[in-house]
């Protein structure tokens, strides 16, 4: 799907709406990037359905491949304004705050403003708009506002209109300051007022209807009811914008002349409910637990409601909606304390906006403002013994003590007895399958990354580490079950630490979650240390396979794909990794380069290691030369990089078809330089074993985990395999054994290539056709890392 470019100088500018991990780097939401118009057209002209676009990050100059789904086009002048804001999170908030951004675009010298300095506000006048430090190498310079402070703001500035020796405007010393537009409140002048006034929160005295009033009005001689959303004047006539009670039209507003609207005596229970016939009559259902205005603990002993609390709301017709509190406070013209809730489904009417101002941000039709006392804790995640959730909260799944204990991973028969069955594994909720599958794969039957649970890393966030250990990994290994509330607790922390609100409800990819928690929150060392083209420092947590379509690779195995990718980009592993997480060559949820991929139960990385001894692929002696041309030669074996001793290299390259090859010299460790001929000493092979595979089909992630040494020892996990109840119910995670996988792993490659996926037994088709991420471990290195 093509993105409309924002061309102003031959470049197209974009802002990331979600975080993006690329190699060892993580670019948070709000990061700005660009690509040339020529590059844009080249990407989409021949491939209109391209899923990735190669862009340059404006903040630090890296070139990365970004999925087009998270790129929001912006005009050049908008990008320049946003670039003046230092933090990506504040930058994204300012981009979504459209009114302030539009005001900044129209602002110019001479306009009166109010500026924010150290959380205080002072009056001033704009004297300059433009860049104040230009780099000849930068594609775009940030735009700042030079403001002369007045009144109480005098002597609160930092300059006389100059910056780093360049004068941009003149004022008294201490009265000048340069700020991004996010620190400025623009005051419109008389010349900027439109003919039609925008809806106002405050109505003039004498106007009988105010925002929030319940009102009645006639449509085609039928009496309707609703809530006044805005009161404004157009010319000499007053109008009321009403959200009607009509079923299914909660996002449709009617603009009605004021003299056709009758104010009801009572204000409705909520500001944006699905209005029923009792609206305005005080008959909206009240929660059994009456929360105080301050959100103090209710009679039932539930904790106080706060930002990020999961809640349920009963609307006027008894309909229940569920969501997460994103904002608490007071709205104009509303005396009660209000909650801004992001709903699980598209049953709201806003994106977090109330009368032109954003109080929080969410997807359209997901936001709802209600009285705080109308919110109850979400019963689906409460530990009440008397509720229908006894299936989830029975005595078998009691909370674990908070002592820093550890439980070993489950193997062989222990894994079967603890993990197999319904209501086993990690319970999914609200698009959590990417996280559920990743956590189950990494911690159920292996300890290769248990260092994440205990090691005091430099950047380690103890709270996140404790939640991961005490609420997820330990319960999983002890009882075989993790409730959705525990995973939501982790998702809330990722939202707060990662400053990306979508982690609690949006679809994500496993690599985004793993890069965030490993790199940004826990701060662990990159799992992979790579060298590319002789340059080190290309470290990462997940390795993405990039390669051109190979005609001779119809049904490849993982070993072949890794070798092709390493050869294509001239990459080597600087050291043996303890954990090697590999993403398959597929983009998005639909495009797959290969319809089937064979799992390599062992991954031989000997020839991928930098400066390690290599074996001549002809005679077995120590290799001294490597040839990329021979790797593609069909005369040789289909797998394995091609390296030779000097004698065999001369013989191989004496053939007329290989005389143009250019072998490169290998580094031979000193202890292997003096050896007996013909490889009397074997070069040690470094192999890693497969322990889990994540798969995706129609936006849903599941995982296969190897729990024992035999080919039959595989289990299949789905966090949302079944469901109890409808909207008010919960998901039932399930773990099943899938020994049928071994039947296909034992088949010759040529026979397996002819197997039709629809004819495969059990869930084997998912493993071979839907693989998204393979996870390998080195038992030797896991002891040291």
pLDDT digits (tens, 9 = 90+) for 323-378: 888 889 888 767 778 898 888 777 777 778 877 678 887 777 778 888 888 888 87
Cβ atoms of 714 and 737 closer than 8 Å? yes
HEC string of 36-77 equals: EHHHHHHHHHCCCCCCEEEEEECCCCCEEEEEHHHEEEECHH
User: Given this model, what pLDDT does residue 44 score?
Assistant: 64
Whole-number Cα distances in Å, 455 to 404, 465, 660, 776: 12, 9, 52, 21
Structure tokens at 776: 């390998």
- Give tens-digit pLDDT for 541-577: 999 888 766 656 678 889 888 988 887 777 888 888 9
User: Given this model, what pLDDT does residue 704 score?
Assistant: 97
Residue closest to 429 by CA, chosen among 588, 309, 303, 323:
323
- Give tens-digit pLDDT for 293-319: 444 444 445 668 888 788 888 765 556
With a cut of 80, say whether residue 270 has pLDDT above it.
no
Instruction: Kindly report the number of other CB atoms within 10 A of residue 716's CB atom.
Output: 22
- Give tens-digit pLDDT for 698-725: 789 999 999 999 989 999 999 999 888 7
Q: Which region holds residue 373: left if phi is over 0, alpha if psi is between -120 and 50, else beta?
A: alpha
User: Given this model, what pLDDT does residue 118 score?
Assistant: 81
Residue closest to 785 by CA, chosen among 443, 455, 407:
455
Name 531's bridge partners: 536, 572
Burial class (CB in 10 A: 0-12, 13-18, 19+), 331: buried
Question: pTM value?
Answer: 0.52
Share of the chain above pLDDT 70, in %: 75
Averaged pLDDT score across all residues of the chain: 77
Mean predicted confidence (pLDDT) in 510-522: 88
Share of the chain above pLDDT 90, in %: 18
Mean predicted confidence (pLDDT) in 37-65: 75
Residues with Cβ within 8 Å of residue 293, at least 6 apart in sequence: 336, 337, 372, 373
Residue 679, classed as helix, strand or coil, is helix
User: Given this model, what pLDDT does residue 278 score?
Assistant: 32
With a cut of 60, say whether residue 2 has pLDDT above it.
no
Mean predicted confidence (pLDDT) in 134-163: 84
Mean predicted confidence (pLDDT) in 149-165: 87
Mean predicted confidence (pLDDT) in 81-109: 85
With a cut of 70, say whether residue 450 has pLDDT above it.
yes
Between residues 22 and 195, the one the model is more confident about: 22
The CA R_g of the chain, rounded to the nearest whole Å, is 31
User: Given this model, what pLDDT does residue 146 score?
Assistant: 93
Positions of E strands within 297-374: 310-314, 320-329, 338-343, 353-354, 357-358, 367-371
User: Given this model, what pLDDT does residue 475 score?
Assistant: 93
Mean predicted confidence (pLDDT) in 490-501: 75
Describe the strand order of the beta sheet including 254-257 as a list of residue ranges. 254-257, 237-244, 222-234, 214-219, 261-263
- How far is residue 189's CA from residue 173's CA, in Å, rounded to a whole number? 27
User: Given this model, what pLDDT does residue 431 score?
Assistant: 87
Between residues 550 and 496, the one the model is more confident about: 496
**Count, residues in the chain:** 785
- Give tens-digit pLDDT for 400-410: 444 457 789 99
- Give tens-digit pLDDT for 718-773: 999 988 876 667 889 999 999 999 988 888 877 887 888 888 888 999 999 899 99
- Give tens-digit pLDDT for 621-669: 888 888 877 876 666 655 667 888 888 888 888 888 788 888 888 877 7
With a cut of 90, say whether residue 139 has pLDDT above it.
no
Q: Which residues are catalytic?
A: 433, 700
Between residues 463 and 599, the one the model is more confident about: 599
User: Given this model, what pLDDT does residue 266 score?
Assistant: 32
pLDDT band at 615 (very low <50, low <70, confident <90, very high): confident
Name 369's bridge partners: 340
Between residues 117 and 635, the one the model is more confident about: 117
pLDDT band at 274 (very low <50, low <70, confident <90, very high): very low
With a cut of 50, say whether residue 398 has pLDDT above it.
no
Residue 490, classed as helix, strand or coil, is helix
Backbone angles phi, psi at 490, to 5 degrees: -65, -40
């Amino acid at each position: 799907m093509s993105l409309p470019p924002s061309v102003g100088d031959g470049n197209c500018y974009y802002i990331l709406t979600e975080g993006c991990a690329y190699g060892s780097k993580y670019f948070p939401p709000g990061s700005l990037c660009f690509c040339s118009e020529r590059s844009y057209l080249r990407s989409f002209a021949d491939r209109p359905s391209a899923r990735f676009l190669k862009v340059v990050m404006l903040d630090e100059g890296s070139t990365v491949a970004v999925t087009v789904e998270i790129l929001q086009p912006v005009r050049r002048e908008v990008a320049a304004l946003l670039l003046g804001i230092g933090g990506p999170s504040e930058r994204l908030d300012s981009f979504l705050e459209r009114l302030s951004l539009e005001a900044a675009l129209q602002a110019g010298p001479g306009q009166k403003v109010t500026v924010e300095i150290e959380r205080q506000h002072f009056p001033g006048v704009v004297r300059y708009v433009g860049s104040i430090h230009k780099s000849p190498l930068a594609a775009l310079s940030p735009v700042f506002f030079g403001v002369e402070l007045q009144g109480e703001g005098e002597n609160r500035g930092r300059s006389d209109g100059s910056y780093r020796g360049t004068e941009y405007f003149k004022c008294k010393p201490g009265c000048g300051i340069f700020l991004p537009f996010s620190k400025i409140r623009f005051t419109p002048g008389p010349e900027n007022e439109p003919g039609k006034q925008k809806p106002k929160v405050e109505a003039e005295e004498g106007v009988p209807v105010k925002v929030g009033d319940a009102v009645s009005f006639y449509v085609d001689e039928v009496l309707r009811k609703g809530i006044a959303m805005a009161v404004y004047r157009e010319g000499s006539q007053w109008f009321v914008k009403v959200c009607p009670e009509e079923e299914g039209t909660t996002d449709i507003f009617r603009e009605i002349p004021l003299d056709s609207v009758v104010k009801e005596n009572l204000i409705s229970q909520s500001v944006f409910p699905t209005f029923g016939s009792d609206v305005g009559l005080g008959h909206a259902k009240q929660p059994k637990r009456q929360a105080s205005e301050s959100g103090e603990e209710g009679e039932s002993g539930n904790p106080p409601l706060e930002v990020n609390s999961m809640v349920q709301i009963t609307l006027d017709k008894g309909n229940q909606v569920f969501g997460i509190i994103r904002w608490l406070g007071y709205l104009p013209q509303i005396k009660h304390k209000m909650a801004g809730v992001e709903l699980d489904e598209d049953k709201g009417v806003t994106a977090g906006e109330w009368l032109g101002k954003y109080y929080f941000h969410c997807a359209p039709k997901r936001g709802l403002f209600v009285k705080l006392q109308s919110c109850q804790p979400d019963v689906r995640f409460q530990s009440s013994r008397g509720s229908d959730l006894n299936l989830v909260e029975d005595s078998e799944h009691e909370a674990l003590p908070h002592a820093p204990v550890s439980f070993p991973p489950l193997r062989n028969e222990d894994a079967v007895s603890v993990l197999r069955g319904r209501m086993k594994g990690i319970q999914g909720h609200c698009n959590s399958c990417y996280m559920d599958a990743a956590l189950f794969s990494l911690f159920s039957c292996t300890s290769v990354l248990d260092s994440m649970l205990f090691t005091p890393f430099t950047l380690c966030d103890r709270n996140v580490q404790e939640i991961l250990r005490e609420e997820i990994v330990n319960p999983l290994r002890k009882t075989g079950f993790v409730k959705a509330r525990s995973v939501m607790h982790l998702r809330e922390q990722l939202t707060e630490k990662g400053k990306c609100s979508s982690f609690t409800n949006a679809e994500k990819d496993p690599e985004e979650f793993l890069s965030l928690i490993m790199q940004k929150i826990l701060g662990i060392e990159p799992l992979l240390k790579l060298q590319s083209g002789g340059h080190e420092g290309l470290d990462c947590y997940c390795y993405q396979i990039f390669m051109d379509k190979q005609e001779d690779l119809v049904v490849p195995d993982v070993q072949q794909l890794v070798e092709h990718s390493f050869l294509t980009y001239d990459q080597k592993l600087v050291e043996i990794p303890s954990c090697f997480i590999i993403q398959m060559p597929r983009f998005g949820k639909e495009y797959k380069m290969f319809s089937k991929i064979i799992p390599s139960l062992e991954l031989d990385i000997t020839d991928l290691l930098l400066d390690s001894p290599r074996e001549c692929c002809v005679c077995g002696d120590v290799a001294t030369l490597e040839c990329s041309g021979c790797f593609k030669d069909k005369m040789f074996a289909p797998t394995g990089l091609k390296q030779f001793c000097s004698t065999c290299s001369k013989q191989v390259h004496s053939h007329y078809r290989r005389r143009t090859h250019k072998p490169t010299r290998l580094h031979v460790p000193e202890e292997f330089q003096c050896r007996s001929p013909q490889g009397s000493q074997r070069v040690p092979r470094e192999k890693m074993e497969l322990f889990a595979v994540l798969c995706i089909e129609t936006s849903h992630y599941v995982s296969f985990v190897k729990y024992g040494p035999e080919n039959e020892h595989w289990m299949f996990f789905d966090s949302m395999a079944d469901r109890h109840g409808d909207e008010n119910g919960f998901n039932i995670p399930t773990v099943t054994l899938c020994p049928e996988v071994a039947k296909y792993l034992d088949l010759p490659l040529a026979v397996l290539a002819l197997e039709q996926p629809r004819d495969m037994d059990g869930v084997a088709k998912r493993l071979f056709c839907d693989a998204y991420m393979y996870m390998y471990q080195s038992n030797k290195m896991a002891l040291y890392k």
